Amino acid sequence: MATDVHRPVTGNPSGPDAAGHPRETATAVRVDGLTRAFDGRPVIDRLHLDVRAGEFVALLGRSGCGKSTLLRVLAGLDRDIEGTVLVPRRKAVAFQAPRLMPWKRVWRNVLLGLPGKPERARAEQALAEVGLGHRAQAWPKTLSGGEAQRASLARALVREPDLLLLDEPFGALDALTRVKAQRLVDELWQRRGCAVLLVTHDVEEAVLLADRVLVMDEGVIAHEQRIDLPRPRDIADPRFAALRAGLLERLGVEAPAVASPGTEAHAA
């Protein structure tokens, strides 16, 4: 898909170990004692979270567990909080819906909110990186679901974020487009080396992409699972299946009585 040669590739996607990122010790996110309550009912309750620079973290949880709220807090969209939250100045969000401004052409959408008067070439470069270089001039209404989501991703990446927040960005895509989009995110992350927080309800997706999978429950990080599998990861790998089964169990989904490999791995 995206074959971009503008910047040096850090970590070969096809290599055995691509998790070697610089700035191992630097912190991208520090959250301490974070509480966010809706009408007195805490959705996030004294939560603690650290994300290293360049780390890919996936956040799992049942719906309503507060994972999207946490992402909104980190994005700076929700400020009714108590506790300490440190995030990079340069951060970007890609939402579940692409949220492109329908009255702006795709390239203008990509440049929206950038300081100064950015060149169109900058947008085109970011669009080329997600394989959308030819659609820069299009109106958002003419994009397919996958294209719109990639444009949204380009809009996030053009800001050169130190932290990329992804709020179920593949949730609304069909299965084939989702697989492609997941690979694209994997590639982009390896190339950019930014920290990523991916909120998802798809256990397989989390295990496929993340260095570390967090399970959120009752307003705190209830479980943490390092994923040390080499990239690119293979769903058919028995270690992969074991990790997925363990996380599913954590989420309260029992493995089926007759376990068949390769079944859909969606948590409730």
Please choose, out of 60-68, 96-104, 192-200, 226-234, the segment that lies near other proteins by the rule CB under 8 A. 96-104
3-class SS at 188? helix
Other Cβ atoms less than 10 A from the Cβ of 51: the count is 23
Please choose, out of 8-16, 73-81, 171-179, 257-265, the segment that lies near other proteins by the rule CB under 8 A. 73-81
Please choose, out of 7-15, 31-39, 137-145, 195-203, the segment that lies near other proteins by the rule CB under 8 A. 137-145
Q: Tell me if 137 contacts other proteins by CB under 8 A.
A: no
Least distance CB 163 / other proteins (angstroms): 12
Sign, CA dihedral 55-56-58-59, equals positive
Closest CA to 35 of 86, 87, 80, 88: 80
Q: Are 249 and 255 in contact (CB under 8 A)?
A: yes
Beta strand pairing call for 91-94 and 163-167: parallel
Q: Are 110 and 65 in contact (CB under 8 A)?
A: no
Distance of CA 116 to the CA centre of its chain: 28
Q: Tell me if 140 contacts other proteins by CB under 8 A.
A: yes
Tokens encoding 213:
């999978």
- Residue selected from 62, 139, 171, 221 as contacting other proteins according to rule CB under 8 A: 139
Q: Tell me if 93 contacts other proteins by CB under 8 A.
A: yes
Given the complex with other proteins, which of 6 and 141 has the nearer CB atom?
141
Least distance CB 92 / other proteins (angstroms): 7
Tokens encoding 222:
């209830």
Least distance CB 93 / other proteins (angstroms): 4
Residues 6+ apart with CB under 8 A from 101: 108, 109, 112, 140
Tokens encoding 121:
């070439």
Q: Tell me if 141 contacts other proteins by CB under 8 A.
A: yes
Given the complex with other proteins, which of 65 and 111 has the nearer CB atom?
111
- Residue selected from 23, 104, 183, 212 as contacting other proteins according to rule CB under 8 A: 104
Using CB under 8 A as the criterion, what x/- string covers residues 210-229 for binding other proteins?
--------------------
Please choose, out of 4-12, 20-28, 102-110, 251-259, the segment that lies near other proteins by the rule CB under 8 A. 102-110
Strand partners, 41: 38
Residues 6+ apart with CB under 8 A from 112: 101, 104, 155
Q: Tell me if 101 contacts other proteins by CB under 8 A.
A: yes
Given the complex with other proteins, which of 131 and 140 has the nearer CB atom?
140
Q: Tell me if 159 contacts other proteins by CB under 8 A.
A: yes
CA angle 98-145-99, nearest 5°? Answer: 15
Q: Tell me if 102 contacts other proteins by CB under 8 A.
A: yes
- Residue selected from 28, 44, 95, 107 as contacting other proteins according to rule CB under 8 A: 95
Question: How far apart (Å, rounded) are the C-alpha atoms in residues 67 and 31?
Answer: 14
Could you list the residues that contact other proteins (CB under 8 A)? Answer: 75-77, 92-93, 95, 97, 99, 101-104, 112-115, 139-141, 155, 159
